[in-house]
Amino acid sequence: MHSLKHRLGGFKLSDHFRRLSLYTFMLYAFGLVLFVWSLKKRHYKYQFKQFAYCHVTLLVIVVQSSFLVSNMFKGLIWFLLPCSLVICNDIWAYIFGFFFGRTPLIKLSPKKTWEGFIGGWFATMVWGFLFTKVLTRSSLMTCERRGFRLEYWPECETSSLYSYVPMNQVLGESIVALLPESLHSYEMQPMDEHVLWMSIFASIVAPFGGFFASGFKRAFKIKDFGDSIPGHGGITDRMDCQILMGMFVFVYYQARIAKIAGGAADPDVVLRLLLELPDTQKLDLYHRLGAGLTQAGLLPGA
């Protein structure tokens, strides 16, 4: 082990993870140079068409998939719950459409009906509220990830998102006043409000990711993107709505839930970044922070 450490020369994987964006951009720039170097006369149009296909693939799959990974680090609930909402909507829209469907929804998918669309929306909201109650009981689902370690039962302070509070703190006094008085004592989780918006998106907007894929397949006269799942196409056919949903959850979390108050950063995030500093910088920061607190009268003078 000692000889291995000696050969690695103090190599720290975490240091290189912080530079991952730089490394990936340099690889991209290198690929761009190789592309320009490979351009040949009478093949320019074909080569630039393939170049465009490559970038569309990166944008639609790789970039948006990075949002899914980011959601996992906020707590697995932010990955599993949105995925389940899309799956639930797909299943119940089919069931309602099969039994009650009469009115066509969109020409791209003649089998899609308004009855299935609305029924799937209602079922998705019910499922979202019920499944949230199950997931928020487990720290594995609600704890933010602090690294790449696999922790089956992580310990963390329960976020206020998952704590039960009086209904008026979630819905507001004006909305609660419209409800029967017998419900005023009911407690809710702040997460319930966010589940409502995610359910609405999964039911109304996310299906159009599937319609987009349907239009794309019709343009190229193909039935499915693949055949790895018998009767259901390939993996891409199952993920057309999931990618759009994952991007929405990322943007929604950053806009409405990220722990920023009055422009101040989350103390947990700041502390985690500080602990990654070299030891000399940690000591320097310690002395400077102590001097500042002493000057402010928060610590006794030496």
pLDDT in tens, the chain (302 residues): 444 444 455 556 666 677 788 888 999 999 999 999 999 999 999 999 999 999 988 887 788 888 888 899 888 999 999 999 998 998 899 899 999 988 988 887 778 899 999 999 999 999 999 999 999 998 889 988 766 666 667 778 778 889 899 988 888 888 888 888 888 888 999 999 999 999 999 998 878 877 877 787 778 777 776 666 665 555 666 676 787 888 899 999 988 887 544 445 556 667 777 877 788 888 998 889 888 888 888 888 65
Q: Can you say how many angstroms the Cα of residue 199 is from the centroid of all Cα atoms in its chain?
A: 14
CB pairs under 8 A, 24+ apart, for 95-103? 95/119, 96/120, 96/123
Q: Is the pTM value of this prediction over 0.85?
A: no
Please spell the DSSP secondary structure of 230-244, one letter per residue.
TTTB-HHHHHHHHHH
Structure tokens that stand for 155 in this block: 């310990």
Nearest to 233 by CA among 202, 205, 210: 210
Strand partners, 109: 106
Structure tokens that stand for 194 in this block: 């966010």
Q: Phi, psi at residue 109, to the nearest 5°?
A: -130, 90
The answer to whether the CB of 125 falls within 8 A of the CB of 203 is yes
Q: What is the pLDDT of residue 259?
A: 59
Nearest to 116 by CA among 91, 141, 133, 134: 91
